[in-house]
Amino acid sequence: MSVVFEEAAPALSDRELNAVVQLVYQRSGITLHDGKRALITARLQKRLKAGGFRSFAAYLRFVEQDASGQELVQLLDAIATNHTSFFREPQHFDFLREQIVPEWLGRPDRGPIELWSAACSTGEEPYTILMTLLDALPAADAGRVRLLASDLSTKALATARAGVYRLDRVQDLPPAILRRHFERGLGEQEGLARVRPALRERVTFEQRNLLEIGAMGRPFDVIFCRNVMIYFDRAVQQRVVAALERHLAPGGYLFISHSEGLNGVTHGLQWVAPAVYRRRLT
């Protein structure tokens, strides 16, 4: 009888851990703390297995030399936390509906309304923004809404584009919203809900790194950048907030998370509500 021994998974040395921490920081701005060792090891071991690498050192050499940048994207995908939910921090969507929408309706220009969900993860945030606006705006004005949703993670973006979620992710939504904006899976799709095409088709999904925000082509009336700056140190927060501020239209709004703050970050925005800032009109 032959016995097959499974090879032990490679361990992550201090030096390799340090190399991962540096790489992730330089490319995504995310600061990985000491306590994350077990998580990093577990998540990257899957990448080592997928690529047939026998050690972390060999894997990291490959990532650094891979001119396509594909494996770096996979590494960051494996490390980043994509946790999100529909109507997360619901006060923000009340603010959008009750404070911002009436301003837009009173605006004489009637041009496009530009919004950006800048770390959209698997799509719950941009779809919530759109549901809120489509339900609050008269049909003629709903047609003016343009929503860009971006994230660093290609894996999260693929889920966002598909707009398919397990029923337990949507079951707490008000029944009227569920009926209006989702279709229920049948047969093989049982247990799933899909965002209706009318909604999906209105979002433009793009992979974008908050560290490399270049020209965006237009200013934004609203930017959501929530639950990502919490992973950044002050220097990266400063850089990201300065870039987002530049991309806000005069009078435009920036939403951050209630668990984040701009203390210690220099900016010219006005605080208008908890975790909501506004660029001055002039």
Ligand X SMILES: C[S@@+](CC[C@H](N)C(=O)[O-])C[C@H]1O[C@@H](n2cnc3c(N)ncnc32)[C@H](O)[C@@H]1O
Q: Could you give the residue numbers annotated as active site?
A: 43, 151
**What is d(CA 126, CA 8) in angstroms, rounded to the nearest whole number?**
42
Q: How far is CA 83 from CA 167, 201, 270, in A?
A: 16, 23, 28
Contacts with ligand X in 223-262 (CB under 6 A)? 226-228, 257
Contact 138, 195 (CB under 8 A): no
Contact 51, 59 (CB under 8 A): yes
φ, ψ for residue 119, nearest 5 deg:
-150, 70
- When binding is defined by CB under 6 A, the residue of 142, 167, 177, 211 that contacts ligand X is 211
Least distance (Å) from ligand X to the CB of residue 149?
Answer: 10
- When binding is defined by CB under 6 A, the residue of 16, 71, 151, 221 that contacts ligand X is 151
Question: Mask of contacts with ligand X, 85-104, x by CB under 6 A?
Answer: ---x----------------
Contact 200, 232 (CB under 8 A): no
Determine the size of the site formed for ligand X (CB under 6 A).
23
Contacts with ligand X in 28-87 (CB under 6 A)? 28-30, 80-84
DSSP state of 276: E
Question: Mask of contacts with ligand X, 107-146, x by CB under 6 A?
Answer: ------------x-x---x---------------------
Residue closest to ligand X when measured from CB atoms: 84
φ, ψ for residue 42, nearest 5 deg:
-60, -45
Residues forming contacts to ligand X in the complex (CB under 6 A) are 28-30, 80-84, 88, 119, 121, 125, 151-153, 156, 209-211, 226-228, 257
